[in-house]
Amino acid sequence: MTAALATPPAQARSSAAAEHGTGAGKSSRAELFREAGERHHVPEPVLLAVSYLQSRWDDHRGAPSVDAGFGPMHLTDARAALAETHHHHSSGDEDPRGDASRPPLVHRETPVDQERLPASLETLGRAAALTGLPASRLRTDPAANIEGGAALLADHQRSAGLPLSPDPAQWYAAVAAYSGAEETGAARRFADDVFSLINAGESRRTDDGTVVTLPPAPVRPETRQLERLGLKATVPGAECPRDLGCDWTPAPYQMLSEEPGDFGNHDLSDRPRNQAIDYIVIHDTEATWDTTLRLVQDPTYVSWHYSLRSADGHIANHLRAKDVGWHAGNWYVNSKSIGLEHEGFLAEGGQWYTEAMYRTSARLVRHLAKKYGVPLDRAHVIGHDNVPGTVPANVAGMHQDPGPYWDWDHYFDLLGKPFKAHGRPTSPLVTIRPDYDSNTEPYYCGATPADLCPVHGSASITLRSEPRDDAPPVTDVGVRPSPGTWSVYNHAARVSTGQKYVVAERRGDWTALWYLGQKGWFKNDPRHAMTLPAKGLVARLRPGLDSAPLYGRAYPEPAAYPADIPVQPLVPLQYTLLPGQFYSVGQTVNGEYYHSKTFELAGHTVVRGAIRYHQVQFGHRIMFVKADDVVLASAAGLPPVPN
C-alpha cells in the first residue's frame, strides 16, 4: 500500500468532508458519491453500486429502514431500538396457525439478546469511529452518511489485506464484507449483485430531486478474494435457486407431549399433489435475524418457509414447500400458501426496506410462482395484512405487516410484472397505483395521533367516509364501531398498490370505491392519478337476494366431510355484499379443508366440496363469497360510473 493511498485520520477526514461541502447542501447526491469515493480511494462505481443495493441512493429524509438502517449507505444503529422488540407472531390476538378446530397456540416470548447483536446491525458506530463524524450526523445528513459508507468500504478493503486500488475489480472482498454476511453463499450473492449493477448500469432520480447515474462498465471482479474473509460454508439442502445462495435451516417437527395432536411447529403435507399452492404471503419479522432463526427453530413456536435478511438479502429456507407453515393466521390460507418473512423489527419510525432484500425476495418469488403456478398479481402475492380473519371474533386481531411502507410497485417491477393500464381510460375497475415517493400519508407511529411518523412515501391510500379533506376514514365494523385511524398499524380503511377495486362514484377530483360494503373516498386528481384502468371480472349480488355474506375461508359444505372428520362450520364474517355494489374477483375455487391433526402424514386428509367461492377484494383484505350468491361480469360491461 503506497502512502498516496493511505486513508487520512478520522479528524482529517471529518475536516475534508466539511471543506467539500458535505452536509452543507453544496453538492448534489451524485457529487457526494464522487467526492467521498475520491477522499477514501473507493472507486466510484463500487460505492454507487453498494449504495444502490441498500437504498437505491435515497436518503429517506433521515428515516430509518425497518431494521434501523440510515441513509443512502444503510448505516445501521439497532441497539437503541431493541428495547421493545418482539416478533409479530408473539403479539396480538391472532393465532398464526388459524385453525379453530385445534387448541390455540400458546404465545411464547423469546427475548432479544442485545449483547449478541451482529456487526451488520451496528455499522453506524464503526463509521463514526472511522470518520470522526457524530452518529447523529451520520443518521440524518446524506453527505456524512455516504462519507461513512465509503470509509467502511475502505476499511473492509484494508482488513482483507488488499490495496485501495482504483480498479473496481479488486474490491470484491470489500463489497462482500460490507454486506455483513457471515455465510459464503450470502456474501457471494451480494457481491455478485453489486458487480452485476456495475456491468449493467443504473440511473434514477433520487429523493433530493437530482439524478444519479452509474454508467455501465465491463468489470470482471476477482471473486477468489472471497476466500480472504474466512466465512462459514452455506448449509446445503435449501429449496432455492442456486444463484441465491440460500441456507437450509430447518424448522423442527416433533411431538411435544403424549397427547396425539400436541406437536410442532408445522404440518406435514404433500403439496402440490394434494392441494394447489395458491398464495405467496409477504411478512416482516419484527425481530432481528438471530432472534428470527431461534424462533423458527423452536418446536413450540410457529413456522414459515423462508426468512430474508435485510442488510444483504440473504435467504434461509425452513420448510419444504410441500409442508404447511403456521404463519398467516388463517388455516385455509396457510394450507395453500408459502410464507416469506422479511427481517425488520419496526424501529420507531422505520419506513423502508433494503433493495438487497427486495431483489432476492423477488427472485425467490418468481421462482416459486413459476414452479407452483401462482399468478403474479395482488390476488395471489399478498401481504399478511391482506389475509382475512377466519371468524368474526378474530378479525380485529389479524396482523398488519408488511405495512404501508412495503413498496409493492417496485416489488412487482422486480417480479417482471409491472402494474400497467388495461382497458379503456374510463373503466370502472381500477388498479391502485399511487406514486410511492410522493404519496406521503400522515400516519402516526406511536400510541396517539400526536406521534407522527416521519414524512415518507407509502404504497397505501386512506379512504374517507365522504369526499372532503376533513372527513374521517371509513369504518370497518369488524375492527371497531367507530371510524378508522391514521395509525401506521391500522389497515381498516386502506387500499394498497396493485389491488383492484370498482369505482362507485366520481365527484370532481374525488373518487369513491366499493369497500367493505360502503363508499370509500380518496382524492384522485387526474393530473396525478392514483389508479390505472384495469380489466377483469367483478362480482355483484345475484338478483332476488337482499344481501350475501362474506367468509374468511373457503371451506366445503357439511355434506362433504367424511364421518370421521369433524365438520368445520361455515361462519360468515361481519360483512355483507349489498345490491348495487361490485367487487373485483381474484380467483374461483372449490371449498377445501386440510384435516391435519395427527403427527403422521398418513392420517391427513383433504376434504373437497362441491360449493364454489369467488375470492373478492372486499376491503384491504381478501374475502370469499359463495358463487351461488353473486353474478360475475366483465368490468368492460359495467354501467358508466356516476359523476
Going by their DSSP bridges, the two strands 429-432 and 500-507 should be labelled as antiparallel
Q: How far apart are CA 175 and CA 217, in angstroms?
A: 17
What pLDDT does residue 7 have?
36
Cell of 510: 374525488
Q: Which residue has the cell 480511494?
A: 41
Closest of 459, 372, 358, 373 to residue 415, by C-alpha: 358
The predicted pLDDT at position 80 comes to 60
User: Residue 88 is placed in which grid cell?
Assistant: 409479530
Cα 139 to Cα 154: distance, rounded to the nearest angstrom: 20
Beta bridge partners of 622: 617
d(CA 566, CA 391): 17
Spatial distance between the Cα atoms of 453 and 441, rounded to a whole number of angstroms: 10
* Residue found under cell 440511473: 203
- Distance separating alpha carbons of residues 172 and 192, to the nearest angstrom: 8
7: CB partners within 8 A, 6+ apart: 13, 40, 41, 151, 154, 155, 158, 164
pLDDT at position 93 is: 60
Locate 164 and state its grid cell: 485501495
Q: Mean pLDDT per segment of 10 residues, for the chain of length 643 residues?
A: 35 43 67 98 98 97 90 88 52 72 65 65 95 96 98 98 98 98 96 98 96 98 98 96 96 92 93 98 88 92 96 97 97 98 74 96 98 98 97 93 94 98 93 96 87 91 96 94 86 96 96 98 92 97 98 98 96 98 98 94 95 98 98 91 78
At 114, the amino acid letter reads Q
Domains of the chain from N-terminus onward: 3-82+117-229 (1.10.530), 539-637 (no CATH)
Q: Which whole-number Å values give the CA distances from 479 to 99, 251, 476, 521, 550, in the listed order?
A: 20, 33, 5, 19, 15
Q: What is the pLDDT of residue 16?
A: 43
